[in-house]
Amino acid sequence: ATSSYTAPTGFASRTPPYAHLLANLREVNHILGKPLTLAEKILYSHLCNPAESLANANGSLANIRGQEYLKLSPDRVAMQDASAQMALLQFMTCGMPLTVVPASIHCDHLIVGKEGAETDLAASISTNKEVFDFLESCGAKYGIQFWGPGSGIIHQIVLENFSVPGLMMLGTDSHTPNAGGLGAIAIGVGGADAVDALTGTPWELKAPKVLGVKLTGHLSGWTSPKDVITHLAGLLTVRGGTGYIVEYFGEGVESLSCTGMATICNMGAEIGATTSTFPYQLAHKRYLEATHRAPIAAIVDQVHRDTGFLAADAGAQYDKVVEVNLSTLEPHVNGPFTPDLSTPISQFGAVSKAENWPQTVSAGLIGSCTNSSYQDMSRAAHLMQQAADAGLRPKIPFFVTPGSEQIRATIARDGLIDVFEGQGAIVLANACGPCIGQWDRTDIAKTSSESNAIFTSFNRNFRARNDGNRETMNFLTSPDMVTAMIYSGDMGFNPVTDSITKEDGTAFKFVPPHGDDLPGQGFIAGRAEFYPEAEPQPQPSVEVSVSPTSDRLQLLEPFPAWNGEELATSVLLKVEGKCTTDHISAAGVWLKYKGHLENISNNTLIGAVNKETGEVNTAYDLDGLAYGIPELMIKWKKEHRPWCVVAEHNYGEGSAREHAALSPKFLGGSMLLVKSFARIHETNLKKQGMLPLTFADETDYDRIQGGDVLATKDLADMIARDGNNGGVLTVTVTKRDGTQFDIQCKHTMSKDQVDFFKAGSAINHIGNLKKQ
């Protein structure tokens, strides 16, 4: 009777179109005739036109994976407040009356963490009122669900409300893959990609390869889901997942909670993976039911029983397989300054001494989208209760960030917040706060030149990420490890084996943490004011106003179209080493200008290190005078001198921050030449009409200096051939003394991306199409 898998009443926008997806998948199976991984089943069932996208398969998946550009039709879009501003400003330029797919806006990034939820929230609402009002009015006008400040962190709310096995969604945040914990394919993108989905324009993705992670054994004791991914980050490095979807399988999956799987998928972003996902489990059904979606759970269950859609086909081949034995896995601590520097807790004390890291920890923080589930909170509270019963008090400040109002209200009802606050913890607003540089820390100045160490349950630890202080070393670990650590404060402390000496001289040792994956009495919603209308309808009469004098919001002017000529660009900066999107477009205080392209562009590349001088935020004009990097960009833009940046590996790793592509384009950049790109950033650059190139021979990096002119020779030819999905371009390097040599550079431009380049940006191109 339910073979059409019709969405139950009231759940229409939250149920994937299973009948359509299964019909698409039948066509895919017919074309490919091969067993598919789960990732491929979900992705390919969302193809706009399977026959077209898979035409070159010729009986082998190897001809698709890592080769073909897929045109996809995602089911949903989620946007956080910082990135939603630019996404919506771009959407507005397309002139559409409503979005084609359901979407949601989440106000989480702009909320400061300082004294505690109530005070911080009120202060943040007052500071950001103009932006929140803009987002709310956009939501009302276009029928987008608006989750206001204090309602929770985007990924936790998506998990609780929108993620469903088999769903495909885009999110304007790099940790969007969190939703893969509930069997979705959820991909972090820039605002321009989100506009594709919002306008019903096919969204393009190079078909990822599939990395299988086989989990054996089962989790127990001190080891938690976080340790699976912190361990994998060490194994695979920040580049190891580039071009891959990570798909978990094996009997070990059964010992994971749904929220634990979400933690693992969340931090797949730290290994550069396109996304991560898990096959359908009983834990998924239980989580859907617990989060008030029993009718969806019933359909999902039936879809899987009838068709096996929500797991890999028997015999499916992965491009690579890594195995992790959960039974022998130790807790890990990752950092500082990179998420792939992974140390098992048993070795951490010795390593920290050998590395000369601070020997005391200055603060502990738990929560964030990575680790703010009921299970995380209840395990942390279990440890704190043990310490409280033993008469211990934390030695260092401790902050707790619940992931959503539903989590906050439920842990308050169940007495967990009493346990935290009883031990002096500060419970912050349901928001990102200290995870994104919004920690208004009072104990250590931002400008302090002395190193300090913090333990967090977050996912990212680039310099200045949390408190704006470049000397703060953020060690990423499980909430369990953070919580135990606050009672010792000693970097050498290993709660698995060590005791803490109490004031009376006796020893106290924690027993391993225990927590429920779901609340025994069910979730409660909490304060009604934090919840939006379930199925908002567009209200075309709503005015979205942007003041011309605002310093927070600015309407967009289209970038100029390509003039049809080869590029001749001067090297403004040669970047040394790691250059993440935090280096290219810093967060923290700059978050406030996310909706104002001109103002935020004053942060462009201010964290980058000049290879030739070792200086940060310093570039040299042709006359040898030093400038701040954005200042020189502005100067060269005024002088009509197109410029480019040369850099090393994994350029643009980190977040999905599209300002890292928008700002350079806005300030007159036209080309990037690097050893390799992080996927999202490379796509973002193409969406803004930039030309991203990589060295065919990496040693050519050493031959280029600031002030050299890089001129393409066969760009027009590549454009005429619609990019050909990648190839080689010749670039002539002219040195300051006039000598010249040619180098070979690789590009990965598809036909659509060539169209973006020609139009000046993807948004210009979509706007042109809609006008036609």
What amino acid positions are annotated as catalytic residues? 108-109, 173, 460, 655, 657
Q: Pick one of 154, 170, 476, 484: the residue that binds ligand F3S (CB under 6 A).
A: 154
Nearer to ligand F3S, 153 or 762 (CB): 153
Q: Per rule CB under 6 A, is residue 131 in the interface with ligand F3S?
A: no
Rounded to a whole number of angstroms, the minimum distance from the CB of residue 608 to ligand F3S is 22
Rounded to a whole number of angstroms, the minimum distance from the CB of residue 268 to ligand F3S is 13
Q: What is the 3-state secondary structure (H, E, C) of 600-620?
A: HHHHECCCCEECCCCCECCEE
Nearer to ligand F3S, 14 or 109 (CB): 109
Q: Pick one of 73, 368, 688, 761: the residue that binds ligand F3S (CB under 6 A).
A: 368
Nearer to ligand F3S, 120 or 204 (CB): 120
Instruction: State which of positions 100-119 bind ligand F3S (CB under 6 A).
Output: 108-109
Question: Stretches 153-161, 516-524, 673-681, 741-749: which one binds ligand F3S (CB under 6 A)?
Answer: 153-161
Q: Per rule CB under 6 A, is residue 685 in the interface with ligand F3S?
A: no
What separation, in Å, do the N-terminal and C-terminal C-alpha atoms of the chain show?
A: 43
Q: Per rule CB under 6 A, is residue 175 in the interface with ligand F3S?
A: yes
Nearer to ligand F3S, 199 or 430 (CB): 430
Cα distance between residue 244 and residue 246, in whole Å = 6
Cα distance between residue 632 and residue 611, in whole Å = 16
Six token digits for residue 80: 């956080």
Largest alpha-carbon pair distance within the chain? Answer: 80
Q: Per rule CB under 6 A, is residue 369 in the interface with ligand F3S?
A: yes
Q: Which of 369, 281, 271 is nearest to 322 (CA)?
A: 271
Rounded to a whole number of angstroms, the minimum distance from the CB of residue 415 to ligand F3S is 25
Q: Per rule CB under 6 A, is residue 155 in the interface with ligand F3S?
A: yes
Question: Stretches 152-160, 328-336, 358-366, 474-482: which one binds ligand F3S (CB under 6 A)?
Answer: 152-160
Q: Per rule CB under 6 A, is residue 466 in the interface with ligand F3S?
A: no
Nearer to ligand F3S, 138 or 432 (CB): 432
Q: Which of 616, 178, 184, 565 is nearest to 403 (CA)?
A: 178
Nearer to ligand F3S, 368 or 452 (CB): 368
Convert residues 292-311 into a mask of x (bound to ligand F3S by CB under 6 A) and - (unbound). --------------------
Rounded to a whole number of angstroms, the minimum distance from the CB of residue 597 to ligand F3S is 21
Six token digits for residue 213: 């992670």
Element (H, E) at 710: strand 709-712
Residues forming a β-bridge with 569: 710
Residues forming a β-bridge with 674: 647, 694
Residues forming a β-bridge with 507: 501
Cα distance between residue 668 and residue 638, in whole Å = 9
Rounded to a whole number of angstroms, the minimum distance from the CB of residue 461 to ligand F3S is 11
Q: Per rule CB under 6 A, is residue 173 in the interface with ligand F3S?
A: yes
Number of residues counted as binding ligand F3S (CB under 6 A): 14
Question: Stretches 149-157, 195-203, 358-366, 614-622: which one binds ligand F3S (CB under 6 A)?
Answer: 149-157
Question: Which residue do the tokens 């978990």 mark?
Answer: 248
Q: Per rule CB under 6 A, is residue 264 in the interface with ligand F3S?
A: no
- Residue 633 contacts by C-beta under 8 Å, 6 or more apart in sequence? 572, 601, 604, 643, 664, 667, 668, 669
Six token digits for residue 1: 């009777």
325-364 burial, b at 16+ Cβ within 10 Å, e below that, comes to ebeebbbbbbbbebbbbbbbbeebbeebeeeebbeebbbb
Convert residues 427-456 into a mask of x (bound to ligand F3S by CB under 6 A) and - (unbound). -----x--xx--------------------
CA distances to 15, 30, 68 from 23, rounded to whole Å, are 16, 11, 22
* Cα dihedral 365, 370, 371, 374 in deg (nearest 10): 140
Q: Per rule CB under 6 A, is residue 169 in the interface with ligand F3S?
A: no
Q: Pick one of 124, 410, 459, 650: the residue that binds ligand F3S (CB under 6 A).
A: 459
Rounded to a whole number of angstroms, the minimum distance from the CB of residue 474 to ligand F3S is 12
Six token digits for residue 749: 């431009």
Rounded to a whole number of angstroms, the minimum distance from the CB of residue 156 to ligand F3S is 9
Please, where are the H alpha helices in 240-281?
A: 258-266
Residue 55: CB atoms within 10 Å:
13
Residues that bind ligand F3S (CB under 6 A): 108-109, 153-155, 173, 175, 368-369, 432, 435-436, 459-460
